[in-house]
Chain A
């Protein structure tokens, strides 16, 4: 690491040491003690969720006041003007501390929509929203997907029609994380149905309290409601809330998608880390008297090989970043493997538990695994389906020809 990075790392540690404690090692926690939650999605009751969001805003404010709210952002909007490598280094160091989970603000809002506003919004919109977002005051959501536009995002059908200085939006969005907490949403709309589908899209910043915006929780197969449907009925948006050119919204969307943050280094956190921990899994086998089952042992070994090789992949990508070089395809591979590893772990654990996972006996560390089991199908879909990720790897890394598309 060069001197500049070392200085930055030391500054980060001084800041964190002054404000928070070191994180406990979740993978080393003793079997049978403490919370046995295996929830991948939050699925909190409303009052707990409000508290969760409050703590996230609070920690973001503290970060912001100490110069770590927006490490890569321009100084005039309260940013630090440093590089993505500084940002990742900060994340890697912060992961060692017991800080509030700020995912509700950062994953979509600060990580993806902030940079899009910066690149494409008009000056008064940038000034109005960027400092508020990075201070933790404004949460942003992404109004992209629709029932008819998932992986094929350019098929969006929500209409925006010009009326004087305003635009009127009508349509339905879906899979919108954090919409219930958001102050703004970035919407893709169809403004020209006659143009080729990528060329007739326009992007708008929608104040979520505008009349006609309705957020409805969408219950998913886990039983929780981490996503929402957002209905837009005659929502009036001033033209200065348009991002980019009329019919030029696809460029705006690409900015957002390209800013999908690197997930490297973040996988060690969260309760599900224990699902891939050798100690935790071996404790489970001891607790269920299955440790000498040869078939289960073979599966455990295979699972651990994949989990550890994925860790090695992340460690190498992180080391490259710290040395200031951009990693190659490691992050896409890592995302694919993360979903697969957790899926394998959930099914391995299910088979170790046997009937104990099909009905709740109240015993610690048994039925709780249903939370992970039921979340795993989502991991192969969210943030780009496995199929889309493989197309990207094959086309961009291996140079295979593009799929013939209509």
Chain B
């Protein structure tokens, strides 16, 4: 299903209104110091009132069947508001991994709960190096020997977004056939989760240890590399939308401050040095929105250019957000460096998002690889 322009505007307006009511700065600050790092009541409202978790899940699995374009609109708004919620981990990472696996039984088992907002989920790929390259996974999976097709996982995962709270954990582990995807229940014996201290306190991350944890294979044995490549493209574009939204918010905050703050008897925005700083931010934000929205459109069309566009979107939006977050502090002067001002929350989110999937050196090579260079 595809929404037209006016439906997209309507979707954006209703999500923005929801964010203004449920994720104002006070709420973000309260949640980033609490555990769990989201408000279950707000999550339930997002599911019941706006049907957000099911937005991009196919109708056959209980969702509304929209695609990456609609998902992008929602993520831009969540990024603007720094929403603390298990949306990115559940809907963008875990649900997309299930869909990418092509395992219809696993999809039928897990996606309806995700779509309804009952189940939250996480995707555990990176280990202590932080790399999302499936070839570097050392967590191992072995058949449990009961002859029932079950597996047991051993190893350790880090940087698992919402890993302490997710009901369902999807894990990339190595088998003799290569990397593969497994589903683990939160209550499984042998699973331990501890919260990690994070640069960006609005996005919870965990370290998980697996000590012979019972797991179910998702998709084919050895298909983990293929699944991850697909998920990483979709997730890069989802993250890019979040980044574009955050960057736009930083630009708006800077422009607003430059209009009202007076120094030397005139608004600071009338000085060309400040004006050009804001114009440079605008250029970055416009490019970021174009790159992320165009990549989402290409994904929705199943276009052959999508993998290149996904890498471009992640690189472009990472840089734009980091730039906007830094310049936002600069435009605000000393006040922008205080804990009380929200500028640092965006700075933290921007840097953490830029490096989440490996950072510029990794995704630049990814782009060149996709272009055959």
Which A residues fall within an 8 A CB radius of B?
A: 278, 281-282, 285, 291, 297-298, 300-302, 304-306, 308-310, 312-313, 315-316, 323, 329-330, 333, 336-337, 387, 389-391, 393-395, 397-404
Contact = CB atoms under 8 A, between A and B. Distances in A.
A336 B282 CA distance: 12
A304 B290 contact: no
B278 interface: yes
Nearest to A389: B279
B25 interface: no
Contacts of A401: 259, 266-267, 269-270
B371 A402 contact: no
B286 A313 contact: yes
Q: Which of the listed residues B255, B258, B286, B368 has the most CB atoms from chain A within 10 Å of its own CB?
A: B286
A313 B286 CA distance: 8
Contacts of A281: 373
A391 B279 contact: yes
Task: Give the 6 A-B CB pairs with smallest separation, nearest first.
Answer: A301-B364, A400-B269, A390-B279, A312-B294, A313-B290, A394-B275
Interface in B222-280: 251, 255, 258-259, 266-267, 269-272, 274-276, 278-280
Nearest to B282: A393
Mostly helix, strand, loop or mixed at chain B's interface?
helix
Contacts of A394: 269, 275-276, 278-279, 282
A336 B266 contact: no
A28 B173 CA distance: 42
Nearest to A305: B315
B371 to A, nearest CB: 5
Contacts of A305: 291, 312, 315-316, 319, 364, 367
B279 A393 contact: yes
A398 to B, nearest CB: 4
Interface of B: 5, 251, 255, 258-259, 266-267, 269-272, 274-276, 278-280, 282-283, 286-288, 290-291, 293-295, 308-309, 312, 315-316, 319, 360-361, 364-365, 367-368, 371-373
Contacts of B278: 394, 398, 400
Contact of A402 (B251, B270, B286): B270
Contacts of A323: 5
B286 A330 contact: yes
Contacts of B258: 398, 400
Contacts of A390: 275-276, 279-280
Contacts of A397: 282
B270 to A, nearest CB: 4
Given A297-B364, A400-B258, A401-B266, A309 B371 contact: no
A22 to B, nearest CB: 21
Contacts of A404: 266, 270
A316 B293 contact: yes
B308 to A, nearest CB: 7
Contacts of A400: 255, 258-259, 267, 269-270, 274-275, 278
27 contacts: A285-B373, A298-B360, A301-B367, A305-B291, A308-B309, A309-B288, A309-B312, A312-B291, A336-B283, A387-B272, A387-B276, A390-B280, A394-B269, A394-B276, A397-B282, A398-B251, A398-B269, A398-B278, A398-B282, A400-B258, A400-B259, A401-B267, A401-B270, A402-B270, A403-B270, A403-B271, A403-B275
Given A312-B293, A401-B270, 20 more contacts: A278-B371, A281-B373, A302-B364, A305-B315, A308-B308, A308-B309, A309-B290, A309-B316, A315-B290, A329-B282, A333-B286, A387-B276, A390-B279, A393-B279, A399-B255, A399-B259, A400-B274, A402-B270, A403-B271, A404-B270
Contacts of B293: 312, 316
Given A316-B293, A398-B282, A400-B275, A306 B287 contact: yes
Nearest to B266: A404
B231 to A, nearest CB: 21
Contacts of B272: 387, 391, 403
Nearest to A285: B373
Nearest to B373: A282
B312 A300 contact: no
Contacts of A387: 272, 276
Given A310-B287, A394-B279, A401-B270, A282 B372 contact: yes
B249 to A, nearest CB: 14
A305 B309 CA distance: 9
B373 A300 contact: yes
A297 B287 contact: no
Contacts of B283: 333, 336-337, 393
Nearest to B291: A309
Q: Which of the listed residues A390, A397, A404 has the most CB atoms from chain B within 10 Å of its own CB?
A: A390
A269 B276 CA distance: 30
A297 B367 contact: no
A274 B212 CA distance: 56
Q: Which of the listed residues B275, B293, B295, B319 has the most CB atoms from chain A within 10 Å of its own CB?
A: B275
A306 B293 CA distance: 15
A241 B274 CA distance: 44
B255 A304 contact: no
A250 B20 CA distance: 46
A281 B367 CA distance: 14
A394 B290 CA distance: 19
Contact of B255 (A285, A291, A302, A398): A398
A393 to B, nearest CB: 4
A219 B278 CA distance: 36
A299 B364 CA distance: 9
A310 B290 CA distance: 8
Given A304-B371, A308-B312, A312-B294, A298 B364 contact: yes
Contacts of B5: 323
A208 B271 CA distance: 42
Contact of A309 (B267, B279, B287): B287
B294 A315 contact: yes
Contacts of A389: 279
A403 B255 CA distance: 15
A309 B267 CA distance: 33
Nearest to B280: A390
A399 B295 CA distance: 30
B13 to A, nearest CB: 18
